[in-house]
Protein backbone atom coordinates (compact mmCIF):
# COMPACT_ATOMS: atom_id res chain seq x y z
CA UNK A 1 0.00 0.00 0.00
CA UNK A 2 2.84 2.41 0.87
CA UNK A 3 4.38 1.86 -2.57
CA UNK A 4 1.09 2.77 -4.25
CA UNK A 5 0.78 5.92 -2.14
CA UNK A 6 4.30 6.95 -3.17
CA UNK A 7 3.23 6.65 -6.82
CA UNK A 8 0.21 8.88 -6.21
CA UNK A 9 2.41 11.46 -4.47
CA UNK A 10 4.80 11.45 -7.42
CA UNK A 11 2.28 11.99 -10.23
CA UNK A 12 -0.73 13.87 -8.83
CA UNK A 13 -0.99 17.48 -7.61
CA UNK A 14 -0.25 17.44 -3.90
CA UNK A 15 -3.71 18.74 -3.01
CA UNK A 16 -5.45 15.86 -4.78
CA UNK A 17 -3.32 12.88 -3.72
CA UNK A 18 -5.53 11.78 -0.81
CA UNK A 19 -8.75 11.93 -2.87
CA UNK A 20 -7.30 10.09 -5.87
CA UNK A 21 -5.84 7.44 -3.57
CA UNK A 22 -9.28 6.99 -1.98
CA UNK A 23 -10.78 6.38 -5.44
CA UNK A 24 -8.19 3.64 -6.04
CA UNK A 25 -9.01 2.01 -2.69
CA UNK A 26 -12.77 2.30 -3.21
CA UNK A 27 -12.96 0.89 -6.73
CA UNK A 28 -10.12 -1.66 -6.46
CA UNK A 29 -8.41 -1.48 -9.82
CA UNK A 30 -4.91 -2.14 -11.08
CA UNK A 31 -3.24 1.22 -11.67
CA UNK A 32 -0.39 1.48 -14.17
CA UNK A 33 1.84 4.33 -15.26
CA UNK A 34 2.79 3.87 -18.92
CA UNK A 35 5.27 5.29 -21.39
CA UNK A 36 3.98 8.15 -23.59
CA UNK A 37 1.36 7.04 -26.12
CA UNK A 38 0.58 9.26 -29.09
CA UNK A 39 -2.90 7.82 -29.51
CA UNK A 40 -4.16 8.35 -25.96
CA UNK A 41 -3.32 9.76 -22.53
CA UNK A 42 -4.92 6.94 -20.57
CA UNK A 43 -7.33 4.03 -20.74
CA UNK A 44 -9.66 1.79 -18.79
CA UNK A 45 -10.20 -1.90 -19.47
CA UNK A 46 -12.01 -4.74 -17.76
CA UNK A 47 -10.85 -8.29 -18.40
CA UNK A 48 -12.50 -11.41 -17.06
CA UNK A 49 -10.26 -12.92 -14.42
CA UNK A 50 -8.00 -9.86 -14.25
CA UNK A 51 -10.49 -7.24 -13.13
CA UNK A 52 -10.41 -3.52 -13.73
CA UNK A 53 -7.29 -1.74 -14.97
CA UNK A 54 -6.55 1.95 -15.47
CA UNK A 55 -3.41 3.29 -17.07
CA UNK A 56 -2.18 6.88 -17.48
CA UNK A 57 0.77 8.19 -19.46
CA UNK A 58 3.63 9.04 -17.15
CA UNK A 59 4.78 12.11 -19.10
CA UNK A 60 1.69 14.21 -18.32
CA UNK A 61 1.94 17.19 -16.01
CA UNK A 62 0.23 16.67 -12.61
CA UNK A 63 -3.05 18.36 -13.51
CA UNK A 64 -3.31 16.70 -16.93
CA UNK A 65 -2.56 13.42 -15.13
CA UNK A 66 -5.39 14.16 -12.68
CA UNK A 67 -7.94 14.91 -15.41
CA UNK A 68 -6.98 11.76 -17.33
CA UNK A 69 -7.13 9.60 -14.19
CA UNK A 70 -10.62 10.75 -13.20
CA UNK A 71 -11.76 10.45 -16.83
CA UNK A 72 -10.81 6.76 -16.67
CA UNK A 73 -12.22 6.23 -13.18
CA UNK A 74 -15.53 7.53 -14.56
CA UNK A 75 -15.37 4.78 -17.22
CA UNK A 76 -14.88 2.19 -14.47
CA UNK A 77 -17.82 3.53 -12.45
CA UNK A 78 -20.01 3.56 -15.57
CA UNK A 79 -19.05 -0.04 -16.38
CA UNK A 80 -19.91 -1.13 -12.83
CA UNK A 81 -23.30 0.58 -13.06
CA UNK A 82 -24.32 -0.24 -16.64
CA UNK A 83 -21.93 -2.84 -18.04
CA UNK A 84 -20.63 -2.40 -21.58
CA UNK A 85 -22.62 0.35 -23.32
CA UNK A 86 -22.73 1.32 -26.97
CA UNK A 87 -21.51 4.88 -26.38
CA UNK A 88 -18.62 4.84 -23.89
CA UNK A 89 -18.59 8.65 -23.73
CA UNK A 90 -22.35 9.04 -23.52
CA UNK A 91 -24.52 10.70 -20.89
CA UNK A 92 -23.85 7.99 -18.27
CA UNK A 93 -20.10 8.53 -18.44
CA UNK A 94 -20.47 12.33 -18.54
CA UNK A 95 -22.55 12.26 -15.37
CA UNK A 96 -20.04 10.02 -13.60
CA UNK A 97 -17.09 12.14 -14.76
CA UNK A 98 -18.67 15.20 -13.15
CA UNK A 99 -19.61 13.30 -9.98
CA UNK A 100 -16.14 11.83 -9.61
CA UNK A 101 -14.57 15.27 -10.03
CA UNK A 102 -17.05 17.23 -7.89
CA UNK A 103 -15.41 16.70 -4.46
CA UNK A 104 -12.23 18.47 -5.63
CA UNK A 105 -13.74 21.18 -7.85
CA UNK A 106 -12.73 23.78 -5.30
CA UNK A 107 -10.00 26.46 -5.14
CA UNK A 108 -8.32 24.58 -2.30
CA UNK A 109 -7.66 21.68 -4.69
CA UNK A 110 -7.37 23.22 -8.16
CA UNK A 111 -6.00 26.69 -8.97
CA UNK A 112 -7.61 29.29 -11.18
CA UNK A 113 -8.01 29.69 -14.11
CA UNK A 114 -7.89 25.90 -14.52
CA UNK A 115 -10.73 25.44 -12.04
CA UNK A 116 -13.18 27.63 -13.98
CA UNK A 117 -12.17 25.98 -17.26
CA UNK A 118 -12.69 22.51 -15.78
CA UNK A 119 -16.11 23.39 -14.37
CA UNK A 120 -17.23 24.61 -17.79
CA UNK A 121 -15.73 21.58 -19.56
CA UNK A 122 -17.39 19.08 -17.22
CA UNK A 123 -20.86 20.36 -18.10
CA UNK A 124 -20.46 18.48 -21.39
CA UNK A 125 -17.06 16.77 -21.52
CA UNK A 126 -15.58 15.51 -24.78
CA UNK A 127 -14.21 12.02 -25.33
CA UNK A 128 -10.72 13.54 -25.24
CA UNK A 129 -9.41 16.64 -23.50
CA UNK A 130 -7.70 17.42 -26.81
CA UNK A 131 -11.11 18.23 -28.22
CA UNK A 132 -11.46 21.24 -25.92
CA UNK A 133 -9.00 24.01 -26.77
CA UNK A 134 -9.65 26.02 -23.61
CA UNK A 135 -8.90 23.03 -21.37
CA UNK A 136 -5.81 22.08 -23.38
CA UNK A 137 -4.36 25.55 -22.94
CA UNK A 138 -5.31 25.71 -19.24
CA UNK A 139 -3.59 22.38 -18.60
CA UNK A 140 -0.57 23.30 -20.69
CA UNK A 141 0.17 26.15 -18.30
CA UNK A 142 1.47 23.45 -15.95
CA UNK A 143 3.79 21.83 -18.50
CA UNK A 144 7.53 22.02 -18.02
CA UNK A 145 7.82 22.88 -21.74
CA UNK A 146 7.92 26.62 -22.33
CA UNK A 147 6.75 28.49 -25.38
CA UNK A 148 9.99 30.45 -25.05
CA UNK A 149 11.90 27.29 -25.96
CA UNK A 150 10.79 27.62 -29.57
CA UNK A 151 7.59 25.62 -29.26
CA UNK A 152 4.40 26.95 -30.85
CA UNK A 153 0.85 25.68 -31.21
CA UNK A 154 0.30 23.86 -34.50
CA UNK A 155 -2.85 25.95 -34.96
CA UNK A 156 -0.71 29.11 -35.08
CA UNK A 157 1.21 27.99 -38.17
CA UNK A 158 -0.01 28.75 -41.72
CA UNK A 159 -1.23 25.93 -43.96
CA UNK A 160 1.70 24.27 -45.70
CA UNK A 161 4.22 25.28 -43.03
CA UNK A 162 6.93 22.79 -42.12
CA UNK A 163 7.32 21.81 -38.47
CA UNK A 164 9.03 19.22 -36.29
CA UNK A 165 7.24 16.95 -33.83
CA UNK A 166 8.88 14.11 -31.91
CA UNK A 167 11.91 14.19 -34.18
CA UNK A 168 9.93 14.00 -37.43
CA UNK A 169 9.28 16.66 -40.09
CA UNK A 170 5.73 17.39 -41.26
CA UNK A 171 3.86 19.86 -43.43
CA UNK A 172 0.66 21.30 -41.99
CA UNK A 173 -2.48 20.47 -43.96
CA UNK A 174 -6.18 21.17 -43.62
CA UNK A 175 -8.17 21.23 -40.39
CA UNK A 176 -10.49 18.34 -39.58
CA UNK A 177 -12.53 19.42 -36.54
CA UNK A 178 -9.79 19.61 -33.86
CA UNK A 179 -6.92 18.00 -35.79
CA UNK A 180 -4.86 18.87 -38.84
CA UNK A 181 -4.17 16.42 -41.64
CA UNK A 182 -0.39 16.62 -41.98
CA UNK A 183 2.11 14.93 -44.29
CA UNK A 184 5.57 13.67 -43.35
CA UNK A 185 8.65 13.61 -45.58
CA UNK A 186 7.68 10.18 -46.97
CA UNK A 187 4.28 11.44 -48.06
CA UNK A 188 2.49 9.56 -45.29
CA UNK A 189 -0.48 11.36 -43.74
CA UNK A 190 -1.19 11.85 -40.03
CA UNK A 191 -3.84 13.68 -38.05
CA UNK A 192 -2.25 15.87 -35.38
CA UNK A 193 -4.02 17.84 -32.65
CA UNK A 194 -4.40 21.55 -33.36
CA UNK A 195 -3.08 22.22 -29.84
CA UNK A 196 0.10 20.15 -30.29
CA UNK A 197 3.30 21.95 -29.36
CA UNK A 198 5.64 21.83 -32.37
CA UNK A 199 8.93 23.37 -33.52
CA UNK A 200 8.60 25.70 -36.48
CA UNK A 201 11.14 25.11 -39.28
- 3-state secondary structure string, the chain? CHHHHHHHHHHCCHHHHHHHHHHHHHHCCEEEEECCCCCCCEEEEEECCCEEEEEEECCCCHHHHHHHHHHHHHHHHHHHHHCCCCCCCCHHHHHHHHHHHHHHCCCCCCCCCHHHHHHHHCCCCCCCHHHCHHHHHHHHCCCCCCHHHCEEEHHHCCCCCEEEECCEEEECCCEECCEEEEEECCCCEEEEECCCEEEEC
Q: What does the mean pLDDT of the chain come to?
A: 90
**Residues 64 and 158 placed together within one structural domain of the fold:** no
Q: Is it the case that residue 26 has pLDDT exceeding 90?
A: yes
User: Can you give the pTM of this predicted structure?
Assistant: 0.74
184 and 123 in a single domain? The answer is no
> Which residue, of 88, 115, 140, is where some domain finishes?
140
Beta bridge partners of 31: 54
Q: Write down which residue in 108, 140, 172 finishes a domain.
A: 140
Same domain for 112 and 52, yes or no, is yes
Q: Are residues 176 and 196 in the same domain?
A: yes
Domain range enclosing 106: 2-140
Per-residue pLDDT tens digits for 58-92: 999 999 999 999 999 999 999 999 998 889 999 99
Distance CA 119, CA 122 (A): 5
Could you tell me if 164 and 77 lie in one domain?
no
State how many domains the chain has.
Answer: 2
Amino acid sequence: MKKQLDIFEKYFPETTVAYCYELWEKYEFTFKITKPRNSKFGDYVYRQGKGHQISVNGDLNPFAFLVTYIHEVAHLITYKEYGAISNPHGKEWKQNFLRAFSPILLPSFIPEPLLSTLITYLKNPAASTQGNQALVLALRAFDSISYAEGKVLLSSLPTGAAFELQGKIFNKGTLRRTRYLCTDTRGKRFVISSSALVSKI
